[in-house]
Amino acid sequence: MKIRATFVMALRALRRNKMRTVLTMLGIIIGVAAVIAMVAIGNGATRQVEDQIASLGQNVVMVFAGSVNQAGVRAGSGNAGTLRIADAEAIAREIPDAVAVSPEVRTSAQIAAGNQNWFTGIQGESPDYFAIRNWPFEEGTSFTDQDVRSSNKVAVIGATIVRQLFENEEPLGKVIRVKGVPFTIVGVLHSKGFSIMGSDQDDVVIMPYTSCMKRLMGVTNIRTISIEAASPDKIDLVQDMVGDLLRQKHKITEDGDDDFMIHNQAEFTEKATAASRIMTILVVCIASVSLVVGGIGIMNIMLVSVTERTREIGIRMAVGAHGRDILLQFLIEAVSLSSMGGVIGIVLGIGASKLLTIFPPYWPTLVSPLSVALSFMFSACVGIFFGFYPAKKAAALDPIEALRYE
Amino acid sequence: MIPVIELRGIERTYSSGEVEVRAVRGVSLSIEPGEFVAIMGASGSGKSTMMNTLGCLDRPTGGTYLLDGIDVSKLNRDELADIRNRKIGFIFQGFNLLSRTSAIENVELPMLYSHKRLSARQLRAKGLAALGIVGLAERAGHHPNQLSGGQQQRVAIARALCNEPSLLLADEPTGNLDSQTSIEIMGVFQKLNEQGITIVMVTHELDIARYTKRNIIMRDGAVVSDVAVRERLTATEELRRLEEARHAVHLTT
């Protein structure tokens, strides 16, 4: 028996019961669409996280002031006051692959310009910071190393500050007062948008770390040191060297606890994407259950169909159909059902992914061709797997019994 | 000449649980090409079992069955299916057409399972030719539910003919038809038989059996009578007589 004729026969049988066919396919359609949309959402989220981490800068190694154990009392990380400017200077001086180094302090304060005021975050950095974070200027320039040495009252502001304080005004050269201290604006940063955590990265005033420490905070220790390695393969080397150097400077013995922590970009990326990856796997698993349920639906309907068409099977056998002709006919019917469901599901899944990016909640989605190919193959396999038993049952019918069936 | 059917001591025993039912007990007979045979008997006489055996739907439990010189009593399921496809045309009491499938497609069905590779166009041509023989060529596109009982049975006959079988097997072919249509169908059989086609028919209606050439009567699984038909009826003659009778009734009222 010709395969093509069998296909035509199977499709015709499916067309005869349109409603039933559609309802049977529904399980597969929903399953496949869900898998594709979920994978697309997962991929989109992962991609977004990766992009945002990349926007933090490339090849970046961060040193955090660690927790310290003083007489049994452990201070939280960053509060230990163990990192000093001298540490940052030593790193810049002694590690050649650390091409950019920026000590960092952070505070927040009410700032004012003219009759406007705004509460925002204040960062003290070195001029290297803008290179490390790959952050271009909208206008003006960075403060200079000389500004750092002299603790000059200059600042660079983010796009949000411009919007809040200098609506319709040229901010360059203007003065903002931070805790009563006037700072002259020398540069305006290009907008970076929201971070992974949802905070506004542009809502910031950045000034020389010396100015921030002396004039605003009155501290001598720093919170973080951002370091850029010369190239991606130097990250580990830089990380190790920084560790050794700081242990030596802080006089930490072999078996002592580090009073700082070092993380690099790759770790952040991994941690941030791991969560979304696990979420994706979880949701895909749930969606796969719906595929299996869809398969059982197909098996159910095929069993009904075999029973309904017992007489037809008898007629076909009487006029010379072999068991395998009947098997093939029902198998093709089941596979057509499931793969048509698969195709419709793929179309719906891709459509849903696109809609999610265009309409609220504006999730970034990324349809993976692999997920499309896999879910199509999976749906076809569901047809073969769940169609086999009913088809086998049909093929094993006794022609005499089948012809007599009412 | 090789007989179309040669049965030697055919036995068919059904064993359901502990009870053994001997449905056919040692039937031997032979049917030559060109014969037109009616097998008759009360229900339970074993004629249906005989029919299934003759139609290669069932295997005898004993004896030898030569169909067209081939011993079919030892063949497996698939081989039997091929024999049915090539050598036998089936006609059933309930027509057994595929519903929601056009007449022509019903006729083409056995050719789909044939070993001969035919193009779609060849299939259509042979199907139309077979429908032409039973006078339904112009109804090729109709579905069974758009056809009368007699027309449906004609489609079934066309389906039986399309693979040019050695034997037409009809199981109560007029059982679901009124008397006039029954005679018409018998007319079709007689015409086919005149062209040399061998026909074996199971019926319990004596007057229908009189259109055939040979009557075999079975009882309790054995042949009790096997005689040539005397005073054979011809369908054309009977139809003409019916028409005249109706005309006469029409005149008197």
Task: Transcribe B90-150 into DSSP letters.
Answer: EE-TT--PPTTS-HHHHHHHHHHTSSS---HHHHHHHHHHHHHHTT-GGGTT--GGGS-HH
Q: How many domains does chain A have?
A: 2
pLDDT tens per residue, range B102-138: 999 999 999 989 888 888 899 899 999 999 999 998 9
Range of the domain at A174: 83-258
A344 and A309 within one domain: yes
A239 and A169 within one domain: yes
Task: Give domain status of residue A264, yes or no.
Answer: no
Residue after which a domain boundary falls, among A258, A280, A315: A258
Which letter, b or e, does each residue of B129-159 get, where b requires 16 or more Cβ atoms within 10 Å of its Cβ? ebbebbebbebbebbbeebebbbbbbbbbbb
Bond from prior residue into A360 cis (ω within 30 degrees of 0):
no
A12 and A125 within one domain: no
Percent of chain B having pLDDT more than 90? Answer: 61
A109 and A29 within one domain: no
pLDDT average, residue stretch B36-48: 90
Task: Give domain status of residue A70, yes or no.
Answer: no
Looking up tokens 């003065």 gives A175
Residue after which a domain boundary falls, among A230, A258, A286: A258
Site from B48, B59, B109 to mutate, A interface, most A CB atoms within 10 angstroms: B109
Domains of chain B: 5-252 (3.40.50.300)
Task: Give domain status of residue A250, yes or no.
Answer: yes
Q: What are the φ and ψ backbone dihedral angles of A187, each rounded to 5 degrees?
A: -155, 150
pLDDT surpasses 90 at B99 = no
A31 and A115 within one domain: no
A303 and A208 within one domain: no
Measured between beta carbons, the chain B residues lying within 8 angstroms of A319 are 84-85, 90, 109-110, 113, 159
Percent of chain A having pLDDT more than 70? Answer: 95
CA–CA min distance A314, chain B (Å): 9
pLDDT surpasses 90 at A153 = yes
Q: Do A315 and B77 touch (CB under 8 A)?
A: no
Residue after which a domain boundary falls, among A214, A234, A258: A258
Q: Do A319 and B110 touch (CB under 8 A)?
A: yes
Measure CB to CB from residue A315 to each of B58, B86, B96 and give the nearest one.
B96
Q: Do B52 and A400 touch (CB under 8 A)?
A: yes
Task: Give domain status of residue A115, yes or no.
Answer: yes
Axis-axis angle for helices A369-395, A18-55 (nearest 10):
150
B90 — contact with chain A (CB < 8 Å)? yes
Task: Give domain status of residue A227, yes or no.
Answer: yes
Measured between beta carbons, the chain B residues lying within 8 angstroms of A318 are 55, 57, 84, 90, 96
State the pTM of this model: 0.74
Q: Do B109 and A323 touch (CB under 8 A)?
A: no
A208 and A117 within one domain: yes
pLDDT confidence bin for A329, thresholds 50/70/90: very high
A368 and A313 within one domain: yes
A120 and A169 within one domain: yes
pLDDT average, residue stretch A233-259: 85
DSSP symbol at A194: B
Q: Do B81 and A320 touch (CB under 8 A)?
A: yes
Percent of chain B having pLDDT more than 70? Answer: 100
Measured between beta carbons, the chain B residues lying within 8 angstroms of A314 are 96
Task: Give domain status of residue A12, yes or no.
Answer: yes
A103 and A206 within one domain: yes
Rounded distance between C-alpha atoms, residue B6 and residue B71, angstroms: 9
pLDDT surpasses 90 at A388 = yes
A12 and A101 within one domain: no
A325 and A194 within one domain: no
